[in-house]
């Protein structure tokens, strides 16, 4: 059976290039025009990369950014037209890869840098590796003056990473707490002030971290009333007895500093004045038998 030139042309036309939207494909830069770049991807027509799809960042000189003959990966954003030409994007490929990096960072509980770009009543908008994100006001360290943060780079934790919905929610507060926790250790004596009271104990703020002094860890004797024992803003020293990284919680104790049961209730000033000296003995006891 003979195979004519026409048959060859038809076979070429029927060749399964199968270029699909969303496909990542390698191509080589071949030429330019005023609107963009032509790229050889092995199809019957050169693919086209529009100028506004060249990069996430502004490109002043496309020919320098993408020199002739350079080969790299592109994302197909529009399938073949009547002439067999597909439309490509580097910008959207960078976005796709950025979302994947952010997803990986979230899975590994890692932090990332975010630059504040704007403020609204709910918080601040930020740029993270070219992706627009949001930090709720409650997750800012300085929540009272968000306007002062515009243009600044913040270290943040990732709360929600949803590429499908283009939703990126971050927290500066959690990242700060995580950094503080990494510098703490069990048996460390900390000094802070009481910032909250609950029926089960008091919250102590120290060096940007909040720890819980549980009612059972205040004294070896029974504590009948927290309100009559402490007051908000009161300075206090306590020993770290547990750090829960997953729940971002620090547990404190003052009863381990007592020389006798009830000393924190009867002579708290003495316990606080000698806290540094007592802490060493308390650490030895922690290491030998733990905290009850």
Half-sphere exposure of 216 (CA within 13 A, CB side): 4
- Select from 292, 288, 228 the least CA-distant residue to 264: 228
How confident is the model over 170-206, as pLDDT tens digits?
A: 999 888 887 777 788 999 999 999 999 999 999 998 8
Is 85 a residue whose pLDDT tops 70?
A: yes
Q: Is 172 within 8 Å of 137 (Cβ atoms)?
A: no
Find the largest Cα–Cα distance for the chain: 109
3 state DSSP class of 21: coil
How confident is the model over 9-60, as pLDDT tens digits?
A: 555 455 445 789 999 999 999 999 999 999 999 888 999 999 999 998 888 8
Domains of the chain: 23-89 (2.40.50.140), 109-177 (2.40.50.140), 184-289 (2.40.50.140)
pLDDT higher at 43 or 107: 107
Alpha helices in the chain (DSSP H): 5-13, 62-65, 91-107, 172-182, 263-266, 268-273, 275-289
The per-residue DSSP string of 250-274 comes to EEEESGGG-SSTTHHHH-HHHHHHT
pLDDT band at 142 (very low <50, low <70, confident <90, very high): confident
Q: Across residues 77-104, what is the average pLDDT?
A: 93
């Amino acid at each position: 059976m003979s195979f004519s030139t026409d048959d060859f042309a038809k076979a070429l036309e029927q060749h399964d290039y199968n270029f699909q939207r969303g496909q990542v494909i390698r191509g080589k830069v071949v030429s330019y025009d005023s609107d963009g770049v032509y790229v050889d991807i092995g199809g019957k027509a050169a693919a086209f990369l529009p100028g506004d799809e060249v990069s996430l960042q502004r490109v002043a000189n496309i020919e320098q950014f993408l020199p002739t003959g350079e080969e790299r990966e592109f994302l197909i954003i529009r399938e073949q037209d009547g002439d067999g030409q597909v439309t490509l994007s580097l910008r959207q490929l960078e976005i796709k890869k950025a979302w994947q990096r952010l997803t990986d960072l979230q899975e590994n509980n890692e932090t990332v840098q975010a630059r504040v770009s704007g403020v609204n009543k709910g918080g601040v908008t930020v740029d993270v590796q070219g992706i627009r994100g949001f930090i709720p006001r409650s997750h800012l360290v300085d929540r009272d003056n968000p306007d002062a943060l515009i243009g600044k780079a913040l270290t943040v934790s990732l709360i929600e990473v949803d590429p499908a919905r283009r939703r990126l929610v971050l927290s500066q507060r959690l990242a700060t707490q995580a950094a503080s926790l990494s510098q703490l250790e069990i048996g460390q004596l900390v000094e802070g002030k009481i910032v909250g009271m609950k029926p089960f104990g008091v919250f102590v703020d120290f060096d940007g971290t909040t720890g819980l002094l549980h009612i059972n860890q205040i004294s070896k004797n029974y504590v009948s009333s927290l309100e009559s024992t402490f007051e908000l803003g009161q300075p206090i020293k306590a020993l770290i007895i547990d750090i829960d990284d997953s729940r971002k919680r620090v547990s404190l104790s003052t009863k381990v500093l007592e020389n006798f049961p009830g000393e924190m209730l009867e002579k708290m000033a003495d316990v606080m004045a000698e806290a540094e000296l007592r802490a060493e003995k308390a650490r030895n006891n922690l290491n030998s038998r733990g905290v009850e």
